[in-house]
Amino acid sequence: MRGQYDSAMTVELSLQGYAGVREIGDVYRRGDDVLLDLTELQDEVCKRIVDFCAGLSYDRGYVERVRSHVFLVAHQGA
């Protein structure tokens, strides 16, 4: 794991459904931030994914809405 996420990258992901949340978790846990494009998803599925990301980042990061259906899942200090 990288120290204090100083070398973290931002990885862009465009999900086609809830099944893609594992990839979000994998990228985030390795120390990278995630820019999520959920524009192709229905609101209900989008909400479930954002809820997952909120839980994933709860103790060491945050979820920020960039624009409609686009979210940044980032580590503290990013």
What percent of the chain has pLDDT above 70? 90
Say whether pLDDT at 1 is over 90.
no
- The candidate with the shortest Cα–Cα distance to 25, out of 36, 41, 16, 38, is 36
Name the fold adopted by 3-75. Answer: Translation Initiation Factor IF3 (3.30.110)
Q: What is the pLDDT of residues 32-65, one digit of tens each?
A: 999 999 999 999 999 999 999 999 999 989 999 9
Q: What pLDDT is recorded for position 5?
A: 43
Angle at 18 between CA 28 and CA 23, to 5 degrees: 25
Rounded to whole angstroms, what are the CA distances from 35 to 10, 63?
7, 10
Kindly report the number of other CB atoms within 10 A of residue 45's CB atom.
Answer: 15
Q: What pLDDT is recorded for position 77?
A: 79
Burial class (CB in 10 A: 0-12, 13-18, 19+), 78: middle
Q: What pLDDT is recorded for position 6?
A: 52
Mean pLDDT for the chain overall: 89
Q: Which two tokens stand for residue 50?
A: 């954002």
